[in-house]
Chains A and B, each alone.
Chain A
């Protein structure tokens, strides 16, 4: 049961982040190709949003690994 929970936490988190990053990176490349002079500004904003996207998944991974090694052990 614990292993299934951990697998779901990590797997679904990764799925959501992957979709988010795909959209984000794709849009960033698209707009950098249209307006190359805006690329540095967009890059900073992209990293901020990347951090926001990252957060939930990483919190999930943290909780999952904590469950696996601290609660399960």
Chain B
């Protein structure tokens, strides 16, 4: 922890996104964007998430194009392990036929996992490096340079992922059951009588909307809390190292688990959407 901060300033600094917005005088950053409202871009979230997505695509693509049926290399064995793991889970959970669901599940799993793993990078490293770069290249005060490296601690990103899943749920519901079938599912369950249509509609709408909401908030809540505790540990001085180690070891379980849950729930929701009644 840099000593010139107070604890709450330090925590606040590490949990602020680098924002970008366009004002009347051209593009502005960070503090100038505090009243930009909707059109403030979190450039660090965007850059890290797109970068990690590209990393996933490039690595998996290069392994796929170089794959051999002979003795596989270590990288190929690893990629095959991941693909098979996701494929097994899709097969055991999703009973319909779809060419989209397995690649979708693989993308979600690996991408969310990569973004979660940014949590294990030491909390000071990335803000410190970007502070130095900001100071040297743009002459900024390093306290005003923000870089929050874990994209999944940004509510915007988790909600974007969950909205993508939600749109797919709606799309598959309508495609498989037709608009009439989907409307019927929303209004004639759980009580199958016309009198109960308003009650059913309220119940089913809440169920439907709770899915993306809980997907997004679960991922965000877990990652935000864990990142915050890493930062809190970093404020206590020299005894932070064993504590950091213990918390990081615990997160070797938690981070893949969150990615796995996001993937599994996506598959389950889509399989529910594709079910014929």
* A residues neighboring B (CB under 8 Å): 41, 44, 47-48, 50-52, 54-55, 58-63, 65-66, 69-70, 73
Contacts and interface: CB of A to CB of B under 8 A. Distances in A.
A73 B89 contact: no
A69 B8 contact: yes
Contacts of B257: 47, 50-51
15 contacts: A47-B257, A47-B260, A47-B261, A47-B264, A51-B257, A51-B264, A55-B214, A55-B221, A58-B221, A58-B225, A59-B217, A59-B218, A69-B11, A70-B12, A73-B12
Given A48-B265, A51-B261, A65 B218 contact: no
Contacts of A41: 92
Given A59-B217, A61-B221, 19 more contacts: A44-B89, A47-B257, A47-B261, A48-B265, A50-B257, A51-B261, A52-B261, A55-B214, A55-B218, A58-B218, A58-B221, A60-B221, A63-B221, A65-B228, A69-B11, A69-B12, A69-B15, A73-B11, A73-B12
Nearest to B224: A62
Given A51-B218, A62-B220, A69 B264 contact: no
Contacts, number: 59
Classify the interface of chain A: helix, strand, loop or mixed: helix
A47 B15 CA distance: 29
Interface in B165-224: 214, 217-218, 220-222, 224
A73 B228 CA distance: 15
B169 to A, nearest CB: 17
Interface residues of B, number: 22
Contacts of A47: 257, 260-261, 264
A60 B257 CA distance: 19
Contacts of B228: 65, 69
Contacts of A44: 89, 92, 264
B271 interface: no
A47 B224 CA distance: 20
Contacts of A70: 12, 15
A62 B265 contact: no
Contacts of B92: 41, 44
A69 to B, nearest CB: 5
B116 interface: no
A27 B202 CA distance: 34
Contact of A73 (B8, B260, B265): B8
Give the top 4 A-B pairs by smallest Cβ distance, nearest first: A51-B261, A62-B221, A55-B218, A58-B221
Contacts of B218: 51, 54-55, 58-59
Nearest to A44: B89
B258 interface: yes
A65 B224 contact: yes
Nearest to B254: A54
